[in-house]
Structure formats: C-alpha cells, structure tokens
Structure 1
Amino acid sequence: MTRIPADPRSLPAELRPYLEELVRRTLAVCGPRVVSVVAVGSVALGDYRHGRSDTDVTVVVDPSLPAEALDDLAAALAHPSLPCPAAGLELVVYPADFAARPSGEAGYLMDLNTGPLLPGRVSFDPAGSPAFWYVIDRSVAHRSGRLLYGRPAREAVAEPARSSLLGALRASVREHTDGDGHLADNRVLNGCRSVVFCRTGRWSAKRRAAQEVAASEDRFRPLLEAALRSFDRPRRFAAVLPADDVRAFLSWVAERIEETAEADRAGRG
C-alpha cells in the first residue's frame, strides 16, 4: 500500500501536512479496511487556489467497515478538531463494491463538509443528496485523482457511464442556474467546465476551461473574464456578476449539453 503520494510535491504546499494528517487519522479510525484515499477536485485538476478552493477527498473502504466508525471518522476530521487550511473539506466515503462499478447514483456511506468557510454537514444517507456532485467527482477521481493512500484511483473508482455524466452535467447546470448558495463566478466557471467536457470528453480546471470558452465565444467573453478576475480573489471578495448575463450563459451551456447528448444518441442509432 502507498501511504503517502509518490511525489508529495505534486500537492499544494499549503495542503501537504493537512492531507498527511487526514490520511493518518483515517487509518487510525478505519484501519486495514481503508482501500484508497484520493484527492479530487481542484487538487486533482491542478487548479487549487489557496483562500478560495475547497479540498476534495474520496475515501474507499471495505464494505465491512462498522457504521460506528463513520461517526468516529467524521469527528476525527471535523474542523477545528483537524484545522482545515483550505476554504473547506469535502470528503466522501464509498464502499469498495459500489465505487468499483459504474453508477449514476450518489452511493456514499458518508459525506462530510467541514472547514472555516464551509457550512458544516455530515450525511449518511445518499438518498437525500443530488447525485450529480458525486458522479462528476468519481469521474475526476478515476481519470485524474491524486493518490494519498492505497490502491490507485483507476482501480478503486470506476468511471461512470457517459450518459450518467451528461445527466450529471444537466443537473449541475440546473443547480447553478437557480444559484442558491453558489458564488456567481463559480456558477459561470462550472458551466465552462461542462462545455469543455462536451467538446473534448475531458475534465478541465475551471480557469483553463473559462479561457478556452472565452477564446471561442466572443459574446460571453466579458462575463467570463469578469468571472476569472473574481475567482482569483478570496471568497469574501467575490464579485457580483450581472444576473441576467449569468442566466443567459448557463442557458447556452444547457443547450450545448443537449446537443452533445443528441449527437451521442444519433451515433448509437
């Protein structure tokens, strides 16, 4: 088993001690039932912004892990018991048998949100959570996850089916169009990431995706450049973007997703 990344320098310097301690505490609670611990999100995609980004972690465990261990793990990792240097920690625990197969469901054993700028939350019931967050994160984990401990991400976490990923993108755009609880710049940049996925079939860092879309879509360039400038600031200084422009852009993103889904269906016909 790999207990730390083969090259710790591949992790942001601000997060290295924290992630090493997170792995140590996870092993202390869950012991040999830990299969893999993988960094996903902005760390995996090489776009972590200190003071702005969360740190996202996927944990895969043997299904025999006792339920009470999940309570203990949540307590051991909760901020400020384990002070989170990022804006927040979003950690999801999956049973190994679920994680190893393609799925469009949430499927987790535990979902923990904690940190200085993230509302605290712990859930043990995947039925109460929108599945799209988890489908996208598992795809990122499979393709780009940075191993912190255990089996390689490609072995431990299956790639969801493309139809499930496009469905997740639809749901993501609906969520960001509503806008509740999301910064405007993040809504726009997530939309850019969805467009780049539809065009290329790959996950891109948000800023890189916005730059690609801005280069090809003149009418949205002012909005995307404003979102990029805002994204470079700490969360508390995020800019207010024109609401009508954000909705128009996300409506355009939704159309691109539907075009991609229709092309896929035609290709199978």
Structure 2
Amino acid sequence: MTRSLLDPSAVPAELRPYLAELVQRVGILCGPHLLSVFAVGSIALGDYRHGRSDIDVNVVVEPSLPGEVVRELAESLADGALRCPAAGLELVVYDSAFVGRPSDQAGYLLDLNTGPLLPERVSFDPAAAPAFWYVLDRSIAYQSERVLYGRPVRHVLAAPSQRHLLAALMASVREHTTGIGHLPDNQVLNGCRSVAFCRTGRWAAKREAAQIISESEPDFRPLLETAVRSFERPRTAALELPATEVRTFLAWVRERVEEAAESRL
C-alpha cells in the first residue's frame, strides 16, 4: 500500500516532498507494524523557519516490529540516503506499548539525528540521552496533534503527567543554562517557552512565547527582541547576544519554573 502525507497543507511547502518520501520509506519498511507518524517541534507549533529549524518527527510502531527493521530505518533515513532540506532531521521511533502510558523516560527504539547542520547521531539505547527532551516533545505532540500519516496522535500517545512534565521543564532549563551546544537565541527563546507554558498550560511557538514574556517583563524586552531577530536568520548567521544578559534572563527563567513546580507538586 502506498503511504502518503495525510494532509500536505499542514506542513511547510519546502518540506512536503521530503516528508512524503520519509513517510513512504517508513511505511514500506514497517509495513502493517506502522501505527502513526506525526510532527513535533516547530512544524507542530506552526513556527518552522527554513534554514534555521529542524524537522522533528515521531514514529509509533507496534511492539512486534522486528529489531532489524529499526536499524534499516536509521540507514534509509540518514542524510546520505535521503537528503534533508532543513537544518536537520530529528526522528524518534517508539513502540506503542511505551508511549501509550505516561512516562518520564526517553523510551525510544531509535533516536536519529541527521542532516547538514546536525551532528550525526544514531542511538538505539534510550539510556544514552537525557530523558527530558522526549518528555517535552511528547507533550507538544499530544497538544498539537499534527499527524503526517496513520492514527490520530491521542489514539497512540499518552500525555505526560504534570509531575513528569514539570521535572522535564526544570531539566531543560538547567540544560540550556549551560549554553553548551546551544545558540544563545535558542537558549533565550526556549526559556520564554518554558515560562509561557508554566503560565498558560500550553506550548507556544518560540516567537509567540517571546511576545508573551516581553509584554509582562519589559526589562527583558530588548534581549527578547534581539533573540527573535536572530532566530529569523539562518543558523550560520545568528546574532551575538550579550552573554551577561542571557545568563540573567535564564536565571530568572529557572526561578519561575521552580516556583511553578513547587506550587503544583
């Protein structure tokens, strides 16, 4: 059976041929074991920036999928086999038994990072990466329900519990505070998104989150405006942000997230 994008208009035009081919390859390899393919990250939140954003995709399969197929997926979707038009592809494969219940674990069968601006990474061991990334992505997927192929997201994926989600948020803030491997604008905008989520209970796109925080925290407004301008440029042309101001803002973000966690747990 031919697999095609459920709703091509739901993804940016620049990505439609690539995502259609990705869905086709996943469908051919997984066959009847494939349950759902859905977008996460900037595509799910409607804030994809070509030349800046990654393509974030989750795949859910039946637990009976043979292990060798997971390795074949990694080979078939690597940038050398399928050229990624974006900054990179971050693809995670789960089995339905795991994602059908709330969890604070990474729990993946495959975590693939590939593409022109991403360090190549293929992992079959969910203990090899910090779990918070996956918890937050599953929460975004559950909210956004941006299906590329197969069953609705909420038919295959359980939302993380509030306790797991707040713990993941705090881990994310700590990660971005280090600055290692992160562009300063991304540190700042992810901080905005974390605080906006604590205030509203919903995930906002990075630029929307920056607007929310700018309106209530005018002292940070110049920094946030610069971060947004930088985010709108390609990664290779990102603007420099004042390091001291970034650290001050991230310390403020950490305090807000910790306050939210203490009040709700």
Same fold (TM over 0.5): yes
Q: In 2 relative to 1, CA 223–2 (structure 1 residues): closer, same or farther, beyond 3 Å?
A: farther
Taking the aligned partners of 1:20 and 1:235, their CA distance within structure 2 comes to 25
What residue number does 1:262 align with?
Answer: 262
Taking the aligned partners of 2:119 and 2:6, their CA distance within structure 1 comes to 32
Taking the aligned partners of 2:118 and 2:147, their CA distance within structure 1 comes to 24
Taking the aligned partners of 1:25 and 1:49, their CA distance within structure 2 comes to 25
Q: In structure 1, what residue type is equivalent to 2:146?
A: R
What is the SS of the residue equivalent to 1:18? helix
8 Å CA contact 1:106, 1:130 repeated in 2: yes
**Given the two structures, how large is their TM-score scaled by the length of structure 1?**
0.96
What is the SS of the residue equivalent to 2:148? strand
> Which deviations, in whole Å up to 9, do the C-alpha atoms of 1:157-180 show, x marking residues without a partner?
110001111111111111111011
**Given the two structures, how large is their TM-score scaled by the length of structure 2?**
0.97
What residue number does 1:173 align with?
Answer: 173
Taking the aligned partners of 1:81 and 1:6, their CA distance within structure 2 comes to 23
What residue number does 2:17 align with?
Answer: 17
Deviation (angstroms), 1:2: 11
What is the SS of the residue equivalent to 1:111? strand
What is the SS of the residue equivalent to 1:143? helix
> Which deviations, in whole Å up to 9, do the C-alpha atoms of 1:4-57 show, x marking residues without a partner?
444311210001111110000001111111111001110010000000000100
Q: Tell me the number of residue pairs that the alignment of Structure 1 and Structure 2 aligns.
A: 265
Identical counterparts, % of pairs: 66
Gaps of 5+ in 1: none
What residue number does 2:84 align with?
Answer: 84
Kindly report which structure 2 residues correspond to 1:97-246, keeping only aligned pairs within 5 A, or say none.
Answer: 97-246=97-246
Q: In structure 1, what residue type is equivalent to 2:242?
A: P
Q: In structure 1, what residue type is equivalent to 2:100?
A: A
What is the SS of the residue equivalent to 1:14? helix
Q: In 2 relative to 1, CA 6–61 (structure 1 residues): closer, same or farther, beyond 3 Å?
A: closer
RMSD of equivalent CA atoms: 1.3
Deviation (angstroms), 1:3: 4.5
Taking the aligned partners of 1:45 and 1:185, their CA distance within structure 2 comes to 18
